[in-house]
Every structure is written in C-alpha cells, then in structure tokens.
Homo-oligomer: A and B are copies of this chain.
Amino acid sequence: MSNPTDTVSHNTYFDGKVQSLGLQTTDGKATVGVMKAGSYEFGTSSPEKMIIVAGTAKVSLDGETWNTYGPQGIFDVQANVKFQISCEADLAYICYYE
C-alpha cells in the first residue's frame, strides 16, 4: 500500500452525483470535481474560490438572487455559509480553499 499522501484523495457527495479529487496547488489546497445535472446545497468551513472548468452553473449565495457562470466563470464564497448550485448538464469545476 503506497503512502496515503502519495495517492489522490477522492470524495463523493449526493449519492455519487457530485465527486471531487483533492490536490495541493501553489495557491493552496484545492479540489477538482464533477457534478451531474441537478441542484445542490453546499456548506463552507473556509472561504472558497470556485472556477468553472466545463459546463454552466446557476449559483445563489443568498437563496434569492441567482447568477450564471460558464467556463472560466469565478465566484467566491465566504466561510461558514451555505450556497446553492444548479446545473442542467454535467459540470466540472476547481475549488480553491483559502
């Protein structure tokens, strides 16, 4: 068994409809992930910077206003809040944890 830090960490959410892979970057800890079509609520424990890699997401940070982000779209989420993401087709993203 190789040293655990030698292997990529893999996380699964919402019955496998959202999955992510962890990595360390020059900008700190990050995950790249994929979401199947659907609507999801996430909670943050630290500030997050989300960048869309492929696909389009509708995002609400306050439960009322929704903004749409396509590839290279960026949005920041504060620590200790919940936010909603909805996508009508598969979505890929990278999330940086600040």
Given contacts A25-B55, A36-B7, A53-B94, contact A2 B15 (CB under 8 A): yes
B34 touching A22 by the CB < 8 A rule? yes
Copies in the complex: 2
A74 surroundings in chain B (CB, below 8 A): none
Q: Which residue of B lies closest to A20 (CB)?
A: B21
Contact of A32 among B2, B27, B53 (CB under 8 A): B53
**A interface residues, tally (CB under 8 Å):** 33
Of the candidates B10, B15, B21, B55, the one whose C-beta lies within 8 Å of that of A23 is B55
Provide the bound-state CA to CA distance between A17 and B18, in Å.
Answer: 21
| Complex contacts, A43 vs chain B, CB 8 Å | none
